[in-house]
A and B are shown apart, each in its own frame.
Chain A
Amino acid sequence: MKPTTAAFSDNAHRALHDAVLQQALAKAGVGFVDKRRAALSDLPEFAALREAGRAIKDHTLANLNHYLLRFEQQVAANGGQVHWAETPEEACAAVLDICQRAGAKMIAKGKSMVGEEIAVNDALEAAGFEVVETDLGEYIIQIAHEPPSHIIAPAVHKTRAQIAKLFEDLHHHPGLTRPLETVPQIVDEARQILRDKFLSADVGITGANFLIAETGSTVIVTNEGNGDLSATLPRVHIALASIEKVVPTLEDASVLLRLLARSATGQEITSYTTFFTGPRRADDADGPEQFHVVLVDNGRSRMLGGAYHEMLRCIRCGACLNHCPVYSAVGGHAYGWVYPGPMGAVLTPLMVGLDEGRPLPNASTLCGRCEEVCPMSIPLPKLLREHRRQEFERKLAAPRSRWALAAWAFCARRPSLYRWATRFGVSLLNTLSGGRGRFRSLPLAQAWTAARDLPAPQGDTFMAQWQRRKPHG
């Protein structure tokens, strides 16, 4: 997916004026926040669980080589195969190779954000495979030819009416109920359409929420069961996973699963939590003949031990998106690439480059709500600020804003000059305000005054007035 992150301002502007999108966002946002709050209030040990989860991730990341190799050994011992991919191209090539060797035509796909990251669907379709997304949200955006706008609710930007229209235009199977009016009707129709696809698919691709080193298992959580069907009905199962998904033990995964479901959807546990351990065994009634895990790096090993190391703790719950006032206002597409919201604002510049991605770390008030709700206690505002530091050092910001900052800094570091300059400026503004206490518009301040008045200074500065009150103070 070609990023449009550099155009974030324009994207955001369009999103803010898209009435249908705003309607969808308003509905979704409050739901996630309320459900998470309710789930947490039922779990007094959440704070302790959060600490435990963080410790598991920190330990694993400090010993990532060890656990990844252990995972590979166990996958092999179970009769499966691990494929290491440093880049998106290598990852796609590994997937294509497996599909070609299997003589596949149709591929059923469960939801995978890493799949989006490496654009595996584009690669598969370019090679002539038919790919069907089986997660309802992913299916909707696939037929709408759009990228996901949320990491756990990919079609959250769509209203029910828009989805019904998409289905009515595309699905012409006999026996479908029309018009589509309710959510159950929509879900039922998707189920009918997708059931055939599951049965005819040769390869199933899923993501992985966790990889378990001690057992060589991959874990997915879903609420639709589509991931299970994608993984078990086709002859070949490919799990796509990034390297930081590994955890040492089943016990560790259970701690993180408790944090994940509550933070993401406010559920105690998702409807389906499935562990895949190798291909079908001799005495298994069903399951795939082949089990592959494609481990994707795509820059993550470079993050290890560096300024963005803590981002590798992320378990992709989406809580930071749901609680972000910027995400809530503009939705996920404005971010212009795969990962939106605060976690996306940290990851995107690392994956598509700071030149393209630099609007995102700036599009935050650093209000800190993301860090507050993050089940992995990732200091997202600090990491956003770190991007800004890189941006400043590389002089990437517009010259005008850099000069303004430099001029301000020159004064702020010289108290006497600062006193003089601020008194002059304040007195000028006060005069210009003509006693009205505010400005409706002001040259150089249109960004502020477009939607709000600018309160005018009261008169002289505090420091000058204080000098008069206490000459020796």
Chain B
Amino acid sequence: MRVALFVTCLVDLFRPSVGFATVRLLERLGAEVVVPPEQTCCGQPAYNNGDFETARAIARQAITAFDGFEHVVVPSGSCAGMLIKHYPELFRDEPETLAQAQSLAARTRELSVFLAEFGGEQIIDAHFSGKVAMHDSCSSRRELGILAAPRALLNKVEGAEPVELQEAETCCGFGGTFCVKYPDISARMVSDKAAAVIASGADVLVSGDLGCLMNIAGRLRRMDSTVRVYHLAELLADMTDVAAIGEGDKT
């Protein structure tokens, strides 16, 4: 089975270990992982700022880069949602590209969904002792309806005790460029989310989306909280030996 990895820009730039964790999980499933070099970003910054022409250009680039792969895996609900839900919307009036966009959408899976679909629960060989809270990004929860898959996988991590967050349906306040356009409101939202994480008693917070994680981790670090923050893939691939998000070798 050949699987093309859509790395996502945040993982590529800020946290390559999530990409390698994803590769490790996919390879354990027996997949041959390919990373098409023509990929950059899914185009959301342009799309959500109203620049639909740029969004279409970037979408065409991704459609070409991932042409011919039976499976495309994305370690982000937000970027997967862009490929699955919004690319077809962008090409509504261009029948030829629309067909290609729909084909890509049909072949694309968010990581936890892909793992669940191909028996990923069997290949989890990870250990983490402590309470683990799961944050669902709004795109994974609402756009893609992902709730069960990451939790089923998390249950396979030896020693991990899952805890749920209060107000789990509420957005963390990242929202792409929203967090810098309206920093006051975003700060309030992420403060509420960080408070919910701390109140859950979790030792570790995980999520399938690095955008949310950088936001929440940034706030938790500012509050000098002891909660550590990882991408779900890192926990599942037993790669929590790397420094957590927002933490370094030096303090």
CB 8 Å contact bits of B10-33 with A (1 = contact, 0 = none) = 011111110110000000000000
A140 and B86 CA atoms in complex are apart in Å by 45
A448 near B50: Cβ-Cβ < 8 Å: no
A378, chain B: closest CB distance, angstroms: 14
B95 interface hit (Cβ, 8 Å): no
B222 contacts which chain A residues (CB < 8 A)?
Answer: 440, 451-453
A455 and B231 CA atoms in complex are apart in Å by 13
A142 interface hit (Cβ, 8 Å): no
B39, chain A: closest CB distance, angstroms: 7
A452 near B14: Cβ-Cβ < 8 Å: no
A302 and B168 CA atoms in complex are apart in Å by 39
A373 closest partner in B (C-beta): B169
A367 interface hit (Cβ, 8 Å): yes
B247 interface hit (Cβ, 8 Å): yes
B250 contacts which chain A residues (CB < 8 A)?
Answer: 434-436
B124-150: which residues lie under 8 A (CB-CB) from chain A? 138-139, 142-143
Please tell me which one of the listed residues A434, A447, A466 contacts residue B19 in the complex, with CB atoms under 8 A apart.
A466
A325 near B171: Cβ-Cβ < 8 Å: yes
B50 near A388: Cβ-Cβ < 8 Å: yes
Question: Which of the 9-residue segments B98-106, B109-117, B172-180 touches chain A?
Answer: B172-180
A417 closest partner in B (C-beta): B40
A288-343: which residues lie under 8 A (CB-CB) from chain B? 325-326, 329-330
A458 and B47 CA atoms in complex are apart in Å by 27
B201 interface hit (Cβ, 8 Å): no
B154 contacts which chain A residues (CB < 8 A)?
Answer: none
Name which of A367, A371, A409, A434 has the most chain B CB atoms within 10 A of its CB.
Answer: A367
A365 near B138: Cβ-Cβ < 8 Å: yes
B215 interface hit (Cβ, 8 Å): yes
B242 contacts which chain A residues (CB < 8 A)?
Answer: 458
Name which of A365, A418, A425 has the most chain B CB atoms within 10 A of its CB.
Answer: A365
Question: Which of the 9-residue segments A8-16, A190-198, A249-257, A264-272 touches chain B?
Answer: A8-16
B70 interface hit (Cβ, 8 Å): no
CB 8 Å contact bits of A403-437 with B (1 = contact, 0 = none) = 00100110111010011001001100000011111
B211-233: which residues lie under 8 A (CB-CB) from chain A? 214-215, 217-219, 221-222
Please tell me which one of the listed residues A330, A367, A452 contacts residue B218 in the complex, with CB atoms under 8 A apart.
A452
A473, chain B: closest CB distance, angstroms: 6
A104 and B36 CA atoms in complex are apart in Å by 76
A414, chain B: closest CB distance, angstroms: 8
A366 interface hit (Cβ, 8 Å): yes
A390 interface hit (Cβ, 8 Å): yes
B243 interface hit (Cβ, 8 Å): yes
A372 interface hit (Cβ, 8 Å): yes
B218 near A412: Cβ-Cβ < 8 Å: no
A325 near B173: Cβ-Cβ < 8 Å: yes
A363 and B248 CA atoms in complex are apart in Å by 33
A463 interface hit (Cβ, 8 Å): yes
A450 near B187: Cβ-Cβ < 8 Å: yes
B50 near A473: Cβ-Cβ < 8 Å: no
A461 near B16: Cβ-Cβ < 8 Å: yes
B175 near A458: Cβ-Cβ < 8 Å: no
B241 contacts which chain A residues (CB < 8 A)?
Answer: none
B45 near A408: Cβ-Cβ < 8 Å: yes
B contact patch SS: helix
A413 near B58: Cβ-Cβ < 8 Å: yes
A452 near B215: Cβ-Cβ < 8 Å: yes
A159 contacts which chain B residues (CB < 8 A)?
Answer: none
B88 contacts which chain A residues (CB < 8 A)?
Answer: none
B52 contacts which chain A residues (CB < 8 A)?
Answer: 389, 392
A437 near B246: Cβ-Cβ < 8 Å: yes
A453 near B35: Cβ-Cβ < 8 Å: no
A218 and B182 CA atoms in complex are apart in Å by 41
A405, chain B: closest CB distance, angstroms: 6
B190 contacts which chain A residues (CB < 8 A)?
Answer: 451-452
Please tell me which one of the listed residues A415, A436, A465 contacts residue B40 in the complex, with CB atoms under 8 A apart.
A415
A70 interface hit (Cβ, 8 Å): no
A368 interface hit (Cβ, 8 Å): yes
A284 interface hit (Cβ, 8 Å): no
A384-408: which residues lie under 8 A (CB-CB) from chain B? 385, 387-393, 397, 401, 405, 408
B189 closest partner in A (C-beta): A325
A419 and B13 CA atoms in complex are apart in Å by 10
B188 near A16: Cβ-Cβ < 8 Å: yes
A362 interface hit (Cβ, 8 Å): yes
Known: A329-B185, A438-B247, A473-B35. 18 other contacts (CB 8 A): A325-B171, A371-B142, A382-B89, A388-B49, A401-B49, A405-B46, A409-B45, A412-B40, A418-B40, A419-B37, A426-B14, A437-B249, A445-B180, A447-B183, A451-B186, A453-B246, A455-B246, A458-B15
Q: Which A positions have Cβ atoms within 8 angstroms of B? A: 9, 12-13, 16, 325-326, 329-330, 362-369, 371-372, 382, 385, 387-393, 397, 401, 405, 408-409, 411-413, 415, 418-419, 422, 425-426, 433-438, 440, 445, 447-448, 450-463, 465-466, 470, 473
> 7 tightest CB-CB pairs across the interface, nearest first?
A365-B175, A437-B248, A392-B50, A451-B187, A452-B218, A388-B50, A367-B171
Q: Which B positions have Cβ atoms within 8 angstroms of A? A: 7, 9, 11-17, 19-20, 34-35, 37-41, 43, 45-52, 54, 57-58, 61, 89, 138-139, 142-143, 169-171, 173-191, 214-215, 217-219, 221-222, 242-243, 245-251
23 A-B residue pairs with Cβ-Cβ distance under 8 Å, sorted by A, are: A329-B188, A330-B185, A363-B181, A365-B189, A367-B175, A369-B170, A392-B51, A392-B52, A393-B50, A411-B40, A415-B61, A419-B37, A437-B246, A437-B249, A438-B221, A447-B180, A448-B180, A451-B183, A451-B222, A452-B218, A462-B11, A462-B12, A470-B35
